[in-house]
Amino acid sequence: MEMSRSSSFGLLLLLLGFLFVSSYAASDSVYDTFVQCLSSHSVPSDQASSIAYAQTNSSFTKVLQSYIRNQRFNTSSTPKPLIIVTPSDESQVQAAIICSRNIGIQLRIRSGGHDYDGLSYVSDVPFFILDMFNFQSINVNITDETAWVQAGATLGELYYRIWEKSRVHGFPAGVCPTLGVGGHFSGGGYGNMLRKFGLSVDHIVDAQIVNVNGSILDRKSMGEDLFWAIRGGGGASFGVILSYKIKLVRVPEIVTVFRVEKTLAQNATDIVYQWQHITDKIDNDLFIRLLLQPITVKNDNGSAKAEKSTKTVKVSFTSLFLGDATRLISVMNKDFPELGFKKEDCIEMSWIESVLYWANFDNGTSVNVLLNRTPESVKFLKRKSDYVQKPISKDGLEGLWKKIIELGKAGMVLNPYGGRMSEIPASETPFPHRSGNIFKIQYSVTWQEEGTEADKKYVNSMRELYSYMTPYVSKSPRGSFLNYRDIDIGISHNGKDSYQEGKVYGVKYFMNNFDRLVKVKTAVDPQNFFRYEQSIPPLPY
Ligand SMILES: Cc1cc2nc3c(=O)[nH]c(=O)nc-3n(C[C@H](O)[C@H](O)[C@H](O)COP(=O)(O)OP(=O)(O)OC[C@H]3O[C@@H](n4cnc5c(N)ncnc54)[C@H](O)[C@@H]3O)c2cc1C
Ligand SMILES: *[C@@H]1O[C@H](CO)[C@@H](O)[C@H](O)[C@H]1NC(C)=O
Ligand SMILES: *[C@@H]1O[C@H](CO)[C@@H](O)[C@H](O)[C@H]1NC(C)=O
Ligand SMILES: *[C@@H]1O[C@H](CO)[C@@H](O)[C@H](O)[C@H]1NC(C)=O
Ligand SMILES: *[C@@H]1O[C@H](CO)[C@@H](O)[C@H](O)[C@H]1NC(C)=O
Ligand SMILES: *[C@@H]1O[C@H](CO)[C@@H](O)[C@H](O)[C@H]1NC(C)=O
Ligand SMILES: *[C@@H]1O[C@H](CO)[C@@H](O)[C@H](O)[C@H]1NC(C)=O
Ligand SMILES: *[C@@H]1O[C@H](CO)[C@@H](O)[C@H](O)[C@H]1NC(C)=O
């Protein structure tokens, strides 16, 4: 079954030759070799050619674009995969791994395609995409409060399938319903219930993964080290995740949401200052996210001399409370009266309605919308992240407002921690940013103009804001969140310096857990087949 060493060496030479001649020709030749290899690894040959798309195939572009979730990587100059493989059963995943290894082409693994820097479908080296979108099944068992969820399922589908069976169960995961389970869970996974329940990975009880040899492993056969690694260390450094088994959580029949907005003229500075002091300590049922954005307000104060408009910062306080409005009001009055919160701000609803509310669907939208895999629009995005461990002073906030106004389009999302997050030890999962963090910042810029000029301008505005924030955020290392992929914090060329390069971003994402991830990697994939621009390196040998 295995190819002999000399034949794969010959193939490599052949391949390199083709790669230099023409990428289309190379793609076709690699395609034939790959499809043949699949059929010699127990994939029937009609199946083999129907799951793999060559660049010349008329559906190639459509398949590629189906799960691109950042327009920045949807341009004619974005590097394209030689082949897209779309397996629909496990044996096809096994064969795809073995054949990519034999041919010597790197895999990029994609589930929902939301990687902010496109690392699941873009690379500067020749690569195949292993696209897991066909792995969509979800089996919810309410009796034992668990579910098996395949990697290509979306969060919206998961929430829907839970809701079909129970109105008092939910799952703590991301807010955007089109996120894929494969990337989201393996990278940590957080949402608006993290203060009560922690991260998605805190509720994973089993998993199925295909390793570098093409073997399917579950928790028992993979062992606790690898099982630990794929709960926050990113899946794609270790293998291909087929599915996760999760433990559901109980949610109340009635939850309460609110959104309150304040501009600088409405005391936003004082309120944000105060929010920092209570947000990680307040009742665990309460999650209050802040969105900070520059806006322009019209002045209409009767004065002829008045400027027509003023630039200011708008702070939106968006909340989920796992309880009813009466209790929410008493919590707010006691611990956060500065917001000037009123009963009329409260909206009581079911948990599944709160999922729709947080995903910005209009009141009355059918729950079925969660089954829709295609977002309404895909824009150009750049994101970065930070952790804040000491409240920022009022002067610090005033400076920040100036910076945000000056940059004009960059925003920030502040997500409170504390509660359950502080109770779970930092080494429990690879995700290290637990106790001691008040909130996480997501830096965010979204734009619609095409072209490299716009790209440069907006990406630079993110970098400038990030640099401005240096004195206020975690240091040595400055923490980052893996799911908020950011190639600015370091990339690996996966050559002889891969360990040193990997350590640069690795300690930011994983802090003291980086070393254990490297050990696991060295044990399960010493040759570094499962590598990408921010993968965990094996120890150098
Ligand atoms: C609009 C938007 C909203 C977001 N909101 C949140 C949020 O609320 N909370 C949050 O935590 N994050 C959020 N994120 C970030 C998101 O969690 C990550 O981008 C996550 O990795 C997406 O998973 P995916 O499967 O869709 O992505 P993909 O791009 O498919 O994959 C991301 C990474 O995981 C790897 N991977 C994917 N599938 C597999 C697999 N089956 N086996 C092994 N490796 C795999 C990829 O190779 C890549 O490295 C958001 C992102 C976007 C674009
Ligand atoms: C494109 O690829 C798909 C999947 O392999 C295959 O089913 C289809 O026949 C191909 N189409 C063309 C025009 O080659
Ligand atoms: C990608 O670009 C094409 C135009 O080239 C557009 O039709 C398509 O909607 C875009 N898709 C995504 C996901 O951005
Ligand atoms: C659900 O879990 C219970 C308890 O473990 C088990 O007895 C039952 O067979 C499961 N149901 C399904 C459909 O798997
Ligand atoms: C701002 O705060 C001050 C002092 O706390 C208060 O007097 C004033 O009414 C507040 N303004 C607004 C718009 O809430
Ligand atoms: C009206 O707004 C302008 C700012 O544009 C300010 O200078 C002026 O004092 C305001 N006048 C009144 C009456 O509030
Ligand atoms: C949604 O609209 C209905 C009536 O159209 C109203 O009764 C209900 O309170 C609204 N719910 C929310 C969450 O706004
Ligand atoms: C993969 O197979 C090789 C050769 O049979 C073996 O040495 C290695 O231990 C296997 N690796 C894993 C992770 O199973």
Q: Is the CB of 178 under 6 A from ligand 3?
A: no
Nearest protein CA to atom 3 of ligand 5, as residue:
267
pLDDT digits (tens, 9 = 90+) for 161-193: 999 999 999 999 999 999 999 999 999 999 999
Query: What DSSP element (H or E) covers 141?
Result: strand 138-141
Ligand 7 pocket test target in 319, 363, 366, 367 with most atoms within 8 Å of CB: 363
Q: Is the CB of 263 under 6 A from ligand 5?
A: no
pLDDT digits (tens, 9 = 90+) for 261-290: 999 999 999 999 999 999 999 999 999 999
Output the pLDDT for position 359. Answer: 97
- Sequence-distant (6+) residues with CB within 8 A of 87 are 51, 93, 96, 130, 132, 134, 135
Selected from 3.90.1150.110, 1.20.58.100, 3.40.50.1100, 3.40.462.20, the CATH number assigned to the domain covering 255-349+379-472 reads: 3.40.462.20
466 in catalytic set: no
Domain boundaries, given as residue ranges, for the chain: 3-131, 138-250, 255-349+379-472
Output the pLDDT for position 314. Answer: 98
Q: What is the CA radius of gyration of the chain?
A: 24
The alpha carbon of 387 and the centre of ligand 8 are apart by a number of angstroms equal to 39
φ/ψ of residue 283, rounded to 5: -40, 130
3-class secondary-structure state, position 526: coil
Instruction: Report the distance separating Cα 12 and Cα 21, nearest Å.
Output: 14
Selected from 3.30.43.10, 1.20.1260.10, 3.40.50.1370, 3.40.1410.10, the CATH number assigned to the domain covering 3-131 reads: 3.30.43.10
pLDDT digits (tens, 9 = 90+) for 14-37: 444 444 444 555 667 999 999 999
Instruction: Please work out, in degrees rounded to the nearest 5, the angle formed at the alpha carbon of residue 377 by the alpha carbons of 372 and 383.
Output: 110
Q: Which atom of ligand 5 is nearest to the CA of 267?
A: 1
Q: Which atom of ligand 5 is nearest to the CA of 338?
A: 5
Q: Which atom of ligand 2 is nearest to the CA of 59?
A: 1
Nearest protein CA to atom 8 of ligand 5, as residue:
267
Nearest protein CA to atom 8 of ligand 2, as residue:
50
Per CATH, 138-250 and 255-349+379-472 having the same topology is answered no
> Which is nearest to 92 in space by CA: 126, 141, 131?
131
Selected from 3.30.465.10, 3.40.50.10190, 3.50.50.60, 3.30.2350.10, the CATH number assigned to the domain covering 138-250 reads: 3.30.465.10
Overall pTM > 0.85: yes
